[in-house]
Every structure is written in structure tokens, then in C-alpha cells.
Structure 1
Amino acid sequence: MRISTMTFLTDESIGPVQLAQELEQRQFSGLYLPEHTHIPISRKSPYPAGGPLPREYGRALDPFTTLGAAAAVTEHLTLGTGITLVAQHDPIVLAKQIATLDHLSGGRFTFGVGLGWNAEEAAAHGVDWPRRRDLVRDRLAAMQALWAPEPTAYDGEFTHVEASEAHPKPQALRILLGGAAGPKLFADIARFADGWLPVGTHGMAEDITALRAAWAEAGREGNPQVVPYGVQPSAGKLAYLRDQGIEEIVVMLPSAGADEVLRALDDHAQYL
């Protein structure tokens, strides 16, 4: 089982260059970064985990720039977003950013996609909150048209792109959708993605069965990838996940200085 990591890198935490080098030296599989452009102080949207919103949410570095720095100092470490708030992006620009990062990293990028939870943040980007799922579907379809081998037009409800030259092309881009288990999400995964990026491991066996059924119903071959995210590892939990066919997990690192993060890495290294 591959052990990847996630953390909030901020202007107060360990830097991406040092972290990426330490991860590769210890033979961790990958580094995933979340995204928040800003956090309105009105705080109308409750923090999904409950309680006060952690400080690092309002200080997160841009994931694409940060992962570019990590790519430049590593050779094998996979790089991903967990997750990109696609509704908050121009899809043509985002497609170029992703393809460029994938190209410069030698095909090491995983595109984690999510709907988001902070309505105030999304509103500043002009997102109609109740329709954000439709918007994300539309933008993903437009981006995939731009990544097609030949110039491909896309005419959707929110996005229109003429058949265009758009390079570089992603090499073997993996797309994982995040979100709570359910028919809508699983149908979207079967339509647009390579798998699921769930938070935690609760109910995993039942959810994987439902996802595989949706995958087969959509005519997809094989099985979708499932990459549990933000996992607090233990020997028993990893054994359970292996039994479910899980090949990669993403463990959580503290958003902190180098000393604390490296101690956490050394603790997680026992599971490699």
C-alpha cells in the first residue's frame, strides 16, 4: 500500500521544498495539498469538522504554485490537490495550469476535485451555491475537451470553448472526486473521473460496493480507484483497507514548523 501525505502548507509552516525532499528521502508516495483562496471572516458556513476553523485555512498557499516548487526538487514523489475548488476557477486557465504542472513534473500530478463547503468563499468567485455541482460537471467536461488529443469543441451550459490548440497535454492524468458517498457523487465519478477521494474510512466497505456498481452501470471497465484522505493510520486500519482493495492512503500531517512535521513523518514511516 502506498502512503501519501496531506497538509496545509502556509506562510507559517514548513516550506514545500524541504517537505518534498524529506518525503522523497523517506520514500513516502506523494504530497496532496488543499485549496482555499480566502476565508471570509463572516464565517456563516460552519466548519465541517465542527468547532472553530483552524488558523491554517485562511493562510493556505496556492496549491499549484506550491506543488510546482515541490516538483522541481523531486523525481518520484507524486503531487496532487486534495481538493481543487473547480467552481472557483476559469476552466480554460485551470486546464492549462494542470497540464503544465503535469508536464513539468513528468506526469506525476493527480487532480483532486471537490465542490467545496464554504459558501461565502465561493460567492466571491461568482458561484451560484445551489448549482455548484452542475458548474463543476460543466467545467470538468470543458477541461477534458481541452486535454483531448485533437482540437475538440465544448458547448455547455456555463462554458463554451471552440476547437482549439491547447498544449501541453497531460500525460496520464488521474482525476479523483472528493465528497460524501452517494448516488450523485458516484455517478459523477463514473462519468468524469478515475476514482474517489473520500475523507476518512468510515463505512468504506459498503461505499466501495456502491461505487463499483455505479462504475459498472456506466460501462466502465475494471474498478475505480479509492484513495482515503486525511487518514490517521494504525496497523489495524491499514489491514482493513488492504482487504477492501485500497492501494493508496493519504495520511494527515500537522500544519506546523519543520520540527513538528518531521516528527510526524518519522512516526508515520513505520507503516511504509
Structure 2
Amino acid sequence: MDIIVLVKQVPDMEKVKFDREKGVVDRTSASAEINPFDLNALETAVQIAENIDARVTAVSMGPPNTESALKECIARGAHEGVLVSDRKFGGSDTKATSKILASAIKKLGAYDLVIAGEKTVDGDTGQVGPEVAEFLNIPHASYVSKITEMNKDSMEVHSEIWEGTYLKSIKFPCLITVTKDINHPRLPSFKNKMKARKAEIKILKLEDLEEFLNEDNVGFKGSPTKVKKIEIPQIEKRQGKIYRESDTVEAENELINIFKKIKVLEV
């Protein structure tokens, strides 16, 4: 079995800063890391490979420094890493990104299963995984929290949608996106870290994918959606008010008005 894991390098969202004037994320303000949900996807693939004869390939689209993230994937159990990188890919929205990733997967050849995290912490759309499946023309299941069965033809999964859990059977080749509930990602071993340091990351550029897409499909040209503005809400501080014994009537009236406003007193 050949398993593709989609990963993305994102800024540390606990430390990253926002440019309020430009309305963008200042990616230089924090160190980069693998998207946390993608670590769950990688761990899922590695666990499958430990139980059956499977090869795990981590694929990421990003700038050249994304190689470090792919080497970390190898340290965590992937067999190889592939970087999809070209300046012309810059500015791609979720549709263009999905088309690029799907083209890269086609270029790599035969595959049985594609696994992605449910979303990325910097975009939070949850769109890329299912869109990749559509461009590959394969079935997909989203928000998978558990894999209950797997054979040579299909797999059975639990899909968490809204407040329901759906038991789905899906045939190979297919794509799934997984939630953080599916597992606890392992830390890389020293042996695998040393292996990852020597690993060569394969790089695919636009010219390598011309069989499946062209320049009009990528970047700003290939992106039907545009982010015009990002608004960062101000953090509201907890507020309080102190009433003295002589102000009890005023306090009661204000509390009644507040309760009426939030409809606590309505039957």
C-alpha cells in the first residue's frame, strides 16, 4: 500500500503577531512548525504502515525552507518527503493549492490512500483535503476520529460531523481527513532523527507538473477567492462594578435591566 500524507508548515500561532494595518499574519514573527492536525495525519499513516506493508510519503507545498518540516516527518516515521515548491505558486487560495497538490500526487504515481489533517491552524478552512479528493476524482471522508477496519479493497471509519458519528465504508483509492481525537502523535526517535538529517527531499516545480496544470491554474491567476482584509478582534478584559450599601436600589435596577436585556427574566 502507498500512503500520501499532506502536511503544511505553519507559524507558531501562540507566538505569531498580526499586522493590523495590512490585515495579514506576520509569518516572520514566530518560528515555523508542522500544522498540529497534520501530525495526527502522519501518525495515522505510520500506524497503518506498522501493521501492514505500506510506504508513507509526506507531501508539502511551500517555500524551500519547508524541507525542514518534511525531514521532521521522516524523523516521525515517513519513508520519504516531497516538496512542491515554485515562486509561481505564491498567492494560491485553497482551490489552487488543492489543484497543485493533486497534480503532485498524480505525478508521484500509484497511491492507495491520502491522509490530511482536518484543517490548518493558520487558515482554518478545512477545504484543501476534500478539494484534493475532488481533483483526484476519488471518494473521501472528513473528520475521521477512528479507523475500525481495513482490508486490501476498503476501509471503515468513524466520521464526526456536527453532533453525530457516522460509520462509513470507503473504497481505495480514497482520501480521509482526520481529527486530533484519532491518536497522539509520537515524538521522533534519535535514530530516526539521524536518518532524517541524511534524507534527500524530492522537489517538484511547476515545470514538473505541466502534464496536469499550467501557470493559469496556480497563484493569484488560479485563485477565484481573494482575502481583502483580516480583522483581529480586540481582547476584551473582564469588567466589574462595585456598589456600596447605600446604592443597593441602583444596583438592583441595573441588574434587572441587564437580565431583561439578555432575556434571563423571560419565560
TM-score of the alignment, normalized to the shorter chain, above 0.5: no
More strand by share: 2
More helix by share: 1
TM-score, normalised by the number of residues in structure 1: 0.28
TM-score, normalised by the number of residues in structure 2: 0.29
Higher alpha-carbon Rg: 2
